Structure 1
Amino acid sequence: MELIIPENYDPRLSVRETQEAIKYIRDTFQKELGKEMNLERISAPLFVEHSSGLNDDLNGVERPVQFDIAGIPGETIEVVHSLAKWKRMALHEYGFLPGEGLYTNMNAIRRDEDLDNLHSCYVDQWDWEKVITREERKEETLKDTVRTIFKIIKHMQHEVWYKYPQAVKHLPKDITFITSQELEDRYPDKTPKERENLITKEHGCVFLMKIGDKLGSGMPHDGRAPDYDDWQLNGDILFWFENLNCALEISSMGIRVDEESLAKQLEKAGCEDRKNLPYHRMLLNGELPCTIGGGIGQSRLCMLLLDRAHVGEVQASIWPKEMREECRKHNIILL
């Protein structure tokens, strides 16, 4: 996606007021998230050992930032892409029980990310994970959790409106559920992103389910690593965003793979060699709890609630000089 400049754009808050609003949203949302979903705040790593198999492989082509550490010779260290697998290991090691969960502030570097209104090389999100029973590995559990997260985001809209009535974006009243196959059947001649935009514009907020496996067309809707989400029990929360005339993804989440779905997805993805990694061996041996989890973009949420045109208005990152200059000309101030 190329840089989009909304016509007659007005951020409505100064840079210092924006910084104040960012802190308020982040502080308030994580408290609400923890309370409503029974999640404890824990510390999390910025990097992991490559040999652990704990890093998120995203679509399988993105390059992690790698370096070595003098105290651990011979080991490659990687800055995390996300904490999708690490969280499940933490739940196991810390003795969390069904119905209990954790959340953490996750910071990552994605060096191959396109830089535009929505995408940055710096990623900040609330990574969360919760233990469920094997019987709860079903669509009903997924949908109930999505509705809870949507309720928290809606509550945040009211909180922000109270403090910054001139700046808040008003969100839809409800969230609509649809599968990626239903979406392809509805718009067979459109690209996946075009389908997302059409359905999200129609409903305001959508949870797009079942992402990662091949559709009837023979292609997946979008890439998903085969070793954390169950492709039949996952999805993305999308909000329609008028400023950019597109769907804005706020969260990617899902019920995690069990032994059976992990084996199937590794085979489909041609990644069966991962079965020998420590994390994957534990999972295949049934040593890890069943969980549901995901990530909620911190900057994306601030961007949504404050109705901003560029993610750089709500996070400090690196942007091309030309982009900074063009944004400044149109009252888009990148931090």
Structure 2
Amino acid sequence: MSNLIVPKGYKPLLNLRQTELGIKKIKDFFQQNLASELRLRRVTAPLFVEKGTGINDDLNGIERPVSFPIKDMNNTVAEIVHSLAKWKRMTLADYGIEKGYGIYTDMNAIRADEELDNLHSLYVDQWDWELVIDEKERTVMFLKDVVKRIYSAMLRTEYMVHEYFPQLTPELPREITFISSEDLLLKYPDLAAKEREDAITRECGAVFIIGIGGSLSNGEPHDGRSADYDDWTTLNEEGFEGLNGDLLVWNSVLERAVELSSMGIRVDKKALLKQLKIKNQEEKLRLFFHKRLVNDELPLSIGGGIGQSRLCMYYLRKAHIGEIQASIWSKEMRREAAENDIFLI
């Protein structure tokens, strides 16, 4: 059996042509609003980076990057990016972006180790963004303010979609709920992490969970995070560790929480050294990116990624990310999906 979830009685509310129009409208409208909210300018981003520089995103540290030798560079190995978390911060420095301003780009990645299902594809497309901040803005209060601005763009986009397609009724609550990963654990002590996400998002509609990567009171992190971009060990003003988090919404089609964005205040030198030690990855300090950070060549920043296909999937009330993007799926999943009115591109 495939990992396909088939919602009971699912019928797509838009045909293929309407869906393609909706995707275009959403992508154009949302990125303009995001750029306005956070004062971001668009930049061009790489599809691949050189192996061994420390620039690629390690995700949870176990995912294998797709790689290939470059014939014209003595077979130097290049890696398809997992995300642009570290590249963006270097670009802020190289472009001389001022405090209070930032960049965004279309990030396209291949993640060969993904377990394919309704939400996970080999192909990842997201808006990656990064904003230069001041030392005094490295607080959870500032993080929340940025989340609220992004959520405002999401609300406006949902209304725009409803204007074009009245059958797509808005579902997002007017306000997003904030909760720390530790408080979430205390609220649902008998549930696993993903079950806790479902429970709180079903209750609130839209949630931002603060503090992803550090160990909680049960000895386990809520979810994994790389040691060298988000700061998940700094004690913040609300009394718990973590200056990052995940934005989730309740997906009424799949009846589960769906993560639309991961973001956070990035590590400064102190947090980088601490988190690399926790992860036993101090050897990374010899890499290009990490040397630049330790040598104070990179600005303080906040940044994240927002899933383009997932956002469109949510607004257009689709049951599968393959209804939004062209990717590869098993013959079994394609057959099962077609039998249930889920038309994979």
Q: TM-score range by the shorter chain?
A: over 0.9
Look up the match of 2:21. Answer: 20
Kindly state the Cα deviation for residue 312 of structure 1 after the two structures are TM-superposed.
0.5
Look up the match of 1:83. Answer: 84
Indicate yes or no: 2:258 matched with 1:248.
Answer: yes
Aligned to 2:52, what secondary structure does the other structure show?
helix
Q: 1:305 aligns with which of 315, 319, 326?
A: 315
Distance 2:141 2:189 in 1: 27
Indicate yes or no: 2:325 matched with 1:315.
Answer: yes
Q: Are the counterparts in 2 of residues 105 and 126 from structure 1 also a CA contact under 8 Å? A: yes
Unaligned runs of 5+ in 1: none
Distance 2:158 2:279 in 1: 39
Indicate yes or no: 2:335 matched with 1:334.
Answer: no
Distance 1:162 1:154 in 2: 13
The AA in structure 2 aligned to 1:107 is N
Look up the match of 1:122. Answer: 123
Kindly state the Cα deviation for residue 169 of structure 1 after the two structures are TM-superposed.
4.4
Indicate yes or no: 2:61 matched with 1:60.
Answer: yes
The AA in structure 2 aligned to 1:102 is I
The AA in structure 2 aligned to 1:79 is I
Paired-residue identity, %: 54
Instruction: Map 1:277-316 to 2 at 5 A.
Output: 277-316=287-326
Look up the match of 1:204. Answer: 205
Kindly state the Cα deviation for residue 170 of structure 1 after the two structures are TM-superposed.
2.1
Distance 1:12 1:193 in 2: 28
The AA in structure 2 aligned to 1:176 is T
Q: Deviations over 1:90-115 (max 9, x none)?
A: 00000001011000000000000010
Distance 1:242 1:167 in 2: 12
Moved more, 53-62 or 280-289: 280-289
Q: Are the counterparts in 2 of residues 168 and 305 from structure 1 also a CA contact under 8 Å? A: no
The AA in structure 1 aligned to 2:157 is M
Q: Are the counterparts in 1 of residues 13 and 317 from structure 2 also a CA contact under 8 Å? A: no
* Aligned residues between the structures: 335
Instruction: Map 1:209-248 to 2 at 5 A.
Output: 209-231=210-232, 232-248=242-258
Distance 1:213 1:84 in 2: 18
Moved more, 29-38 or 151-160: 29-38
Measured on the aligned residues, the alpha-carbon RMSD in Å equals 1.0
Aligned to 1:189, what secondary structure does the other structure show?
coil
Look up the match of 1:95. Answer: 96
Q: Deviations over 1:129-185 (max 9, x none)?
A: 000011111111100000000000000011010001113542112110011111111
Q: Deviations over 1:48-77 (max 9, x none)?
A: 001211000000000000101112114210
Compute the TM-score of the two structures, normalised by the length of structure 2: 0.96
Unaligned runs of 5+ in 2: 233-241
